[in-house]
Amino acid sequence: MKYATSPTGPLGVNCYILGCPETGKAIIIDPGGHGKRILERLKQMGLTAVIVVDTHGHFDHIGGNAALISATGAELVLHRDDLFLLREAKSHADHWGMPFDPSPEPTRLLVGGEVLEAGTVRLEVLHTPGHSPGGISLYMPGHVFTGDALFAGSIGRTDLPGGDMETLIRSIRSRLLVLPDDTVVHPGHEGESTIGRERLGNPFLR
């Protein structure tokens, strides 16, 4: 697998590029902004985006959707329970005085349990609500991309519209902590961790 990550957008969201070396197809996770920079990185890696997936609908995670979809024609996917957040993202960004390029409508709405494929890259969709109603994580053996559900030593905030602490803790325990301990956690912000490390040391999960 070809892999790259970089902080994007005004709040430094980790955007992940996962590419198949055989077909040149790629999945983009959470393009928070800097769409041109992401497109340049795709070109450098010899990849073409076929799927853009948002782990949730908050404006800081979807600011690059428009540029990527316009340039590549990729499929845009989001959990159905976060469609309202994607549609309201412009007003939320305006409220915080953040620049934002409104996202196009998703071409497919997820419910959880689907497998997203780009050549040999296969990601299982895990519904992990709590930070937002339609928050998802994306799992492949050895790796899980957790959006704003689980961070290194922390968890997502639950004081935004649709957030709920009890739901988030239940999601993490039932969908993420059941994964193998050596699974690398790739969060929506800041650095990586592992499931085992978070199970033992995350103060919110003790």
Are the C-beta atoms of 62 and 54 separated by less than 8 Å?
yes
Fold adopted by 2-201: Metallo-beta-lactamase; Chain A (3.60.15)
Q: What is the pLDDT of residue 86?
A: 98
pLDDT digit string, tens, across residues 37-81: 999 999 999 999 999 999 999 999 999 999 999 999 999 999 999
Q: What is the pLDDT of residue 185?
A: 98
Does the predicted TM-score (pTM) go above 0.75? yes
Compute the average pLDDT of residues 15-28: 98
DSSP-derived pairing of the beta strands 115-118 and 2-8: unpaired
Domain boundaries, the chain: 2-201
Walk across the sheet containing 108-110 and list its strands: 2-8, 13-19, 25-29, 48-53, 75-79, 108-110
Task: Provide the mean pLDDT of the chain.
Answer: 97
pLDDT digit string, tens, across residues 89-139: 999 999 999 999 999 999 999 999 999 999 999 999 999 999 999 999 999
Does the pLDDT at position 206 exceed 90?
no
Could you tell me what percent of the chain has a pLDDT over 70?
100
Q: What is the pLDDT of residue 94?
A: 96
Are the C-beta atoms of 140 and 121 separated by less than 8 Å?
yes
Does the pLDDT at position 190 exceed 90?
yes
